[in-house]
């Protein structure tokens, strides 16, 4: 299959591209390298550097004969989205509308879209399944929800078949240590812990230790990025075989607390990783855990590498590799 991976130099996109190439697909990447990095691009890929906001350029690339596209080009910091909604409106909403229109113009009718558990908002029940009410608590989640709704209309009106993958907390790096381009200025827990471990930050701030959880810190469903990549491959195969659109959660169905992750990171890295307890971060729910039953049913997918040891060990290898080569 000839697949266009939009945002393929980024954290999740680079893992998706790597796995698709491993499975023998012909990979082209679009990325503006604003958060992605050239380090994540492998020689066998065709690379088009440019911006999804540049519509004529986007159409010209998308017209080069692809069987399907995967769209992962978006801004994703939930906190920042509340301070800079205009950035998220432009990059996520306008950027995606451009991709949908360009796909229609170019005759690409299969799309896998990076959605997020952020579309659900404050959990009404756990585990969260796809029927859970969708009421995002941040603008980032709103952009993902609006795009899903737009996809449904393009499915009906333009015949664009899609699978929307609602990621829970993506973490970890390639199991074979081949991807080591790191995220710039990360805000997510695992990369922040890694930056403390390598000495880039003085300490981890633990956002809240008074939640109604076993140790008081926030509980999330961490899903290894290779598991996510496998789901994208399964979604593409399914779309080619049976062009029917749907949205599924991707999670490990396990909850891990901030303090459990920190503890595992201290053991695996052998670093002290200082922490300070600060107040809750606004908009953070106490606990989020996925039901991934629909992904199992529709994609034959389940998490296989999302234990805390694999998540931390693969992240640590990427960070130590990067800083060994940077030094």
Residue 243's contacts (CB-CB under 8 Å, 6 or more residues apart) are 109, 110, 161
Site string for ligand UD1, 195-234 (x = CB under 6 A): ---------xxxx----------x-x--------------
Q: Can residue 57 be called a binding residue for ligand UD1 (CB under 6 A)?
A: no
Q: Which is nearer to ligand UD1, 146 or 284 (CB)?
A: 284
Is the bond into 37 cis (omega within 30 degrees of 0)? no
Distance CA(168)–CA(290), nearest Å, equals 7
- The minimum distance between CB 111 and ligand UD1, in angstroms, equals 19
Site string for ligand UD1, 256-295 (x = CB under 6 A): --x----------------------x--x-----------
Distance CA(64)–CA(317), nearest Å, equals 37
Contact segment (CB under 6 A) with ligand UD1 among 3-11, 116-124, 172-180, 294-302 equals 116-124
Q: Can residue 127 be called a binding residue for ligand UD1 (CB under 6 A)?
A: no
Distance CA(225)–CA(177), nearest Å, equals 12
Q: Which one is catalytic: 11, 140, 167, 319?
A: 140
Q: Can residue 255 be called a binding residue for ligand UD1 (CB under 6 A)?
A: no
Widest distance between CA atoms in the chain? 56
Distance CA(51)–CA(98), nearest Å, equals 10
- Contact between 133 and 124 (Cβ < 8 Å): yes
Q: 220 - beta bridge partners?
A: 256
Q: Can residue 167 be called a binding residue for ligand UD1 (CB under 6 A)?
A: yes
Task: Give me the residues that bind ligand UD1 (CB under 6 A), please.
Answer: 76-78, 116-118, 138, 141, 167, 169, 187-189, 192, 204-207, 218, 220, 258, 281, 284
């Amino acid at each position: 299959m000839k697949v266009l991976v939009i945002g393929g130099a980024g954290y999740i996109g680079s893992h998706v591209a790597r796995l698709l190439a491993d499975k023998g697909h012909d990979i082209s990447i679009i990325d503006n390298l604003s958060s992605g990095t050239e380090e994540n691009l492998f020689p066998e890929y065709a690379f088009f550097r440019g911006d999804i906001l540049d519509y004529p350029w986007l159409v010209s690339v998308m017209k080069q004969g692809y069987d399907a596209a995967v769209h992962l080009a978006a801004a994703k910091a939930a906190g920042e989205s509340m301070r800079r909604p205009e950035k998220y409106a432009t990059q996520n909403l306008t950027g995606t509308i451009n991709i949908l229109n360009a796909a229609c113009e170019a005759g690409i009718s299969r799309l896998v879209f990076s959605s997020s558990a952020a579309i659900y908002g404050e959990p009404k029940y756990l585990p969260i399944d796809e029927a859970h009410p969708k009421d995002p608590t941040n603008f980032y989640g709103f952009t993902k929800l609006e795009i899903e709704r737009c996809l449904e209309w393009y499915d009906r009106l333009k015949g664009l078949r899609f699978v929307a993958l609602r990621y829970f907390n993506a973490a970890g790096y390639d199991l074979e240590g081949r991807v080591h381009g790191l995220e710039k200025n990360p805000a997510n827990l695992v990369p922040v812990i890694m930056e403390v471990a390598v000495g880039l930050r003085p300490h981890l701030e633990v956002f809240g230790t008074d939640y109604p959880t076993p140790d008081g810190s926030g509980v999330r469903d961490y899903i290894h990025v290779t598991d996510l990549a496998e789901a994208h491959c399964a979604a593409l195969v399914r779309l080619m075989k049976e062009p029917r659109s749907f949205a599924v959660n991707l999670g490990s169905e396990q909850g891990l607390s901030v303090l459990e992750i920190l503890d595992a990171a201290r053991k695996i890295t052998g670093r002290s990783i200082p922490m300070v307890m600060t107040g809750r971060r606004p908009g953070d729910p106490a606990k989020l855990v996925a039901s991934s039953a629909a992904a199992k049913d529709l994609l034959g997918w389940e998490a296989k590498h999302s234990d805390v040891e694999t998540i931390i060990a693969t992240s640590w290898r990427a960070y130590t590799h990067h800083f060994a080569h940077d030094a």
